[in-house]
Amino acid sequence: MSHELQSEQRTIDWGKVIEEALTAPGNLGDTYNRFYQYSFFNQMLLRLQGVNEPVATYKKWQELGRQVLKGSRAKEIVRPIFAKRVAANG
């Protein structure tokens, strides 16, 4: 098979893919809404780590009745740290 023919066979019809995703039975929005909404910065950090699927803690996956795959690695995000301020005069 020629290289040109192989390239043509790998072409993806993105219009068709999007149409199928939007008209598929079920509601993808409901699925994604079950997960924590990360800040824009954390979403970018996750994308840079190659994440394209929903992200949750181990405990959250258990609550959803799912099991984390053996050997899965944690992803890094930036998390705020809250501390109580102590007044200077005590």
When mean pLDDT is compared over 2-16, 35-49, 74-88, the highest value belongs to 74-88
∠ CA 62-63-65, rounded to 5°: 65
Total-model pTM: 0.50
Confidence band of 62 (pLDDT split at 50, 70, 90): very high
Contact 41, 78 (CB under 8 A): yes
| Mean pLDDT computed over 43-57 | 83
Region of 65 on the Ramachandran plot (φ > 0 left; ψ -120 to 50 alpha; else beta) = left
| Mean pLDDT computed over 17-42 | 69
